[in-house]
Amino acid sequence: MSSRPPESGVLRSRRQRLLQSIIRPVGHKSKGLMGLNKFLHNESLTTTLDILLAVDVLILIATISLEVQFLKSEIDDFEHACLSGQCSMFANEEEAEEEFDEFGDQDLKKAEEILLYISVGILSLFALELSLLFIANPKEFLSSPFHCLDLVVVVVALVFETAFQDLESVGFLVVARTWRFVRIGHAIVEVEEHVHEHKKHAETENVVAGNATVETEEAVVEGQQEAKEV
């Protein structure tokens, strides 16, 4: 069994540059709308958005679980109605649909709706943040595949959860539910990117602080030498 050859420094460097070009932060070095960029990259704001992103993932997982539990309770009520002979009592399909709407644990359905409203609120904040970032840095934003994908995921999710929420097409429901899993995967990648960015920023600050300490020590040594010469 042949072992995998070690990765050369050139290939590693190219891979790192490609990764940085995809997920590079937008607006850190831009000269346009400095005040807006400074606000968008404020540490408190970015930390809050990261927390909201994690909360949104938990909400998505919870809504999927609640929806599954509600469907199970709906099926159980339907089976009980049919076994008790209630299904044959309906005069027409409309009367049956009205009765079936009451099937299932309605508390689960209401809890799911509340969580979805919270999720829509969080998505709206993300959309606002991305819109402001685009306004401040349009060219840099459009040249960043990661941020363009971020905007697409947020906008499509908002459309699914608001404009077409009451649409009962089976095909649409499948796509909308699948998109929730896309959001979860995208959120995990985004959190990892933010962690990497914060780590890199901390390392840069440590290097700068270390250089400043060295310069200070050198200045002290030079001062002591000059004092001895005098």
Residues 31-66: pLDDT tens digits? 556 778 888 888 888 889 888 988 988 998 898 899
Note whether residue 182 is domain-resident: yes
Q: What is the mean pLDDT of residues 64-83?
A: 83
223 pLDDT tier (thresholds 50, 70, 90): low
For residue 12, being part of any structural domain is answered with no
Work out the percent of the chain whose per-residue pLDDT is above 70: 57
Which residues have C-beta within 8 Å of that of residue 96, sequence separation ≥ 6? 87, 90
Contact assessment for residue 149 and residue 113, using Cβ atoms and an 8 Å cutoff: no
Within a domain: residue 74? yes
Distance of CA 193 to the CA centre of its chain: 11
pLDDT at position 31 is 55
- The confidence score (pLDDT) of residue 216 equals 61
Q: How far apart are CA 69 and CA 63, in angstroms?
A: 10
pLDDT at residue 74 is higher than 50: yes
On the 0-12 / 13-18 / 19+ scale of CB atoms within 10 A, 125 is middle
Q: Does 5 reside within a domain?
A: no
The count of structural domains within the chain is 1
Domain residue limits at 214: 31-221
Is residue 189 in some structural domain? Answer: yes
- Distance separating alpha carbons of residues 69 and 105, to the nearest angstrom: 8
Please give the Cα distance from 92 to 90 (Å, whole number). 6
Predicted TM-score (pTM) of this structure: 0.65
Higher pLDDT, 87 or 156: 156
